[in-house]
Structure 1
């Protein structure tokens, strides 16, 4: 795959880049290795100041980098601005809290005495250069949510970004350079996916994190396993959205639309399967279809646009194949289901709602990465939970109910890394983020995320 900026709204290739050669990759690995052995000893106060400076620069660059993201992958300009603002928030959060999160831990006095020690301390120490293999759908946020905690922990970063967002990738390297980070602390590697294996196998690379597809996750995990290196994987999602009889339907419908078409429907944590109790199914479906049909599809640079193009021609083709398979097997198309009229250039697809879904349809088990929702009618809570769990994925889930017993039931039984009640799934720096089943393993963000790439070292002091 070429490393290029191709505008998804027009199909026009705007910029192309040559992939790094072997000598250039070697030079960057050497810089990362050297940088780590200096940066790891930097006091928290100095690391915090650097990250705060990076946040200030990003805040000032917000409009420019938002336009770059929109040009590269097609998200609406208003959502791109929001993504940049979210990154600023996370950087400041880690700059403020990292030292506390990684503070020395002191085991219970009874256990220390029982071990025969005078004192015992658990200290979190950085691992080294971490390879981050990142996707195009949130090209700034996915990187920052790795980089902010990793750098605050004393690690250094090597970014292999998706090949269709090279300008955003290069911006990130430049951002940390302008903030004053020492040479080699954060580097972008403009390489294809075929270069990842050798980079990960290099002994100077300590660990890897990947957000992306199942095949990419399996590949990175198998290579890392072969060389015994830590990995964190955040893979696909087909998140359920349960609507039960006591739900506030007005809020549930409005949030459902946002949850499905955020980022033009290209989000792992977007709600995709809408599982609705029969008592409220007809009312919910009618309002949901009406709202989805009313969305404005068009140029993502326009402030009035609700849904922009998909990121690539192949992405649209894959989505069309899922919809066509479902339609051919008996699904009912309640709205959408085609390319929008009048938008002949670019990779647009109509907001779509499908009903009468059966397990024989691919879309029942596969992730629909675009503005396509599936509707399920269920008779009771047990059937709702069973349907929600009938997926190989387990990233997040949404439940709309006012009933406390139903909330507890879902909190106990839904197979996911998160359960969001009466609201939409959204990552926050203070909460752990990650999935279960084939949605991956490990956690990002919060104290859990910053400790993923640390060595929890036991320091035992004899009497």
Structure 2
């Protein structure tokens, strides 16, 4: 099926009338469908099926059967790696289609989406390499006897992923879960409906065992049903903190294991010694990538009184130089928001910030050049104080605040003065200052003269940014149960 829009845009979606449940394309158990809109103009791209609770139940039943009686949990790691390599190859072959679909339905510029595609392959390869080397079985001599320690599959994992990085999250959640023997149900958000079909077609091509993987793009009702399902043993949730707290509370009723990768309010401390020619390009990259829709986006820029005006001037110049346009244009790095709802949410934060005393230094408008679509200019706010909503709440959009600090100790205090603790950064050429601040900031990841975490090392948040880790051997082992087998004396 091809869906035409705007005269020349076509995209062929695999199995547009079916759902991918337990390794098979199935006719949906409901007739409900949802229009997929082009984020650049608001026009309909396609209409795809909406999964129902009954479809979700079928996915869980097949996954549970794959865990209880299927071959996958009982395979060797090497055998599972062989199948995952086939999946890797199938995903890589579809990256151009996935990147294009991401641009159309969620506003991800193809220039950025292509770079993310390369990162996806790195993450899959890293998970495979870790699975080859990590010890899932070992003998130990303890003070009370000989034991064998085994890391075994836990059960069915539900991965609830977000629209700003669905395949990156698939790579650091679902792939490790599969490698250690767990069946997986991947729940994508409504903004990734087309991507879901391309991902499912990759799983189909890989020929994984029956029931092992389901890919569902669904709304709130199905998500809540899956989180509460008695046969879901592991839940990985990426998303907002309030919903994450609900996920944890519901899962706790049956003591299901949960990993939460939640919101952030990342601060960038600009020290007085760093040349602004060095710092500003790095800051802009950490702010405006994918229209600020990253949980680690640098949304609070902390600067001393002495350098405040100069930094603001340079940031204004940098943000205003960003060319806004069609996300399918490879020359464009800043596109629309995925939907009117998401754009309107950012606009609400801007409006309330101004009512509380903030000043819009640049941006804050819908670009006049676009008749349709969900565009919003990158927005820089000044005169922002710590108590303002815009300084305390994750926005997940192109709204950035410049805040003043008195000295480095004050900057550390401001950085820690939010509920969140995902990522923060310092920009300085003074090693002593950098390492001192890194030790005092309460986050799961800290960057020195950078703006991103390392996803091939253990990554996650503290405080209201969640708990549990993905990446590295630690992330893989979190997806296992630990069993001790006591050996007979003398053996």
TM bracket, shorter-chain basis: over 0.9
Contact kept, 8 Å, 1:273 with 1:373, in 2: the verdict is: yes
The answer to which of 356-365 and 412-421 deviates more is 356-365
Counterpart CA distance in 1 for 2:177 and 2:437 is: 33
Instruction: Tell me how large the CA RMSD over aligned residues is.
Output: 1.8
The 1:106–1:286 alpha-carbon spacing in structure 2 relative to 1, beyond 3 Å, is farther
Q: Give the equivalent residue in structure 2 for 1:401.
A: 428
Counterpart CA distance in 1 for 2:380 and 2:219 is: 36
Structure 1 residue runs of 5 or longer lacking an equivalent are none
Q: Matched residue of 2:487: which SS?
A: strand
Residue 247 in 1 paired to residue 278 in 2? no
Matches within 5 A, 1:68-107: 68-107=101-140
Q: Matched residue of 1:334: which SS?
A: strand
When normalised by structure 1's length, the TM-score is 0.94
The 1:332–1:27 alpha-carbon spacing in structure 2 relative to 1, beyond 3 Å, is closer
Q: Give the equivalent residue in structure 2 for 1:299.
A: 326
Contact kept, 8 Å, 2:376 with 2:398, in 1: the verdict is: yes
Q: Give the equivalent residue in structure 2 for 1:445.
A: 471
Q: Give the equivalent residue in structure 1 for 2:337.
A: 310
The 1:22–1:311 alpha-carbon spacing in structure 2 relative to 1, beyond 3 Å, is closer
Deviation per CA, 1:407-430: give whole Å up to 9, x if none: 23212210110111011213422x
The 1:124–1:99 alpha-carbon spacing in structure 2 relative to 1, beyond 3 Å, is farther
Which residue of the other structure, out of 36, 44, 59, is the alignment partner of 1:28?
A: 59
Q: Give the equivalent residue in structure 2 for 1:15.
A: 46
1:283, distance to aligned residue in structure 2 (A)? 3.0
Contact kept, 8 Å, 1:278 with 1:378, in 2: the verdict is: yes
Counterpart CA distance in 2 for 1:428 and 1:283 is: 33
Contact kept, 8 Å, 1:208 with 1:231, in 2: the verdict is: yes
Deviation per CA, 1:6-29: give whole Å up to 9, x if none: 211111222223333454333322
The 1:35–1:292 alpha-carbon spacing in structure 2 relative to 1, beyond 3 Å, is same
Q: Matched residue of 2:395: which SS?
A: coil
1:3, distance to aligned residue in structure 2 (A)? 4.3
The 1:305–1:22 alpha-carbon spacing in structure 2 relative to 1, beyond 3 Å, is closer
Counterpart CA distance in 1 for 2:405 and 2:417 is: 13
The 1:120–1:248 alpha-carbon spacing in structure 2 relative to 1, beyond 3 Å, is farther
When normalised by structure 2's length, the TM-score is 0.89
The 1:249–1:459 alpha-carbon spacing in structure 2 relative to 1, beyond 3 Å, is farther
Which residue of the other structure, out of 288, 308, 315, is the alignment partner of 1:288?
A: 315
Which residue of the other structure, out of 146, 167, 183, is the alignment partner of 1:140?
A: 167
Q: Matched residue of 2:475: which SS?
A: helix
1:294, distance to aligned residue in structure 2 (A)? 0.6
Counterpart CA distance in 2 for 1:33 and 1:417 is: 33
Contact kept, 8 Å, 1:49 with 1:95, in 2: the verdict is: no
Q: Give the equivalent residue in structure 1 for 2:225.
A: 198
Matches within 5 A, 1:229-248: 229-248=256-275
Matches within 5 A, 1:38-49: 38-49=71-82
Contact kept, 8 Å, 2:423 with 2:443, in 1: the verdict is: yes
Structure 2 residue runs of 5 or longer lacking an equivalent are 1-31
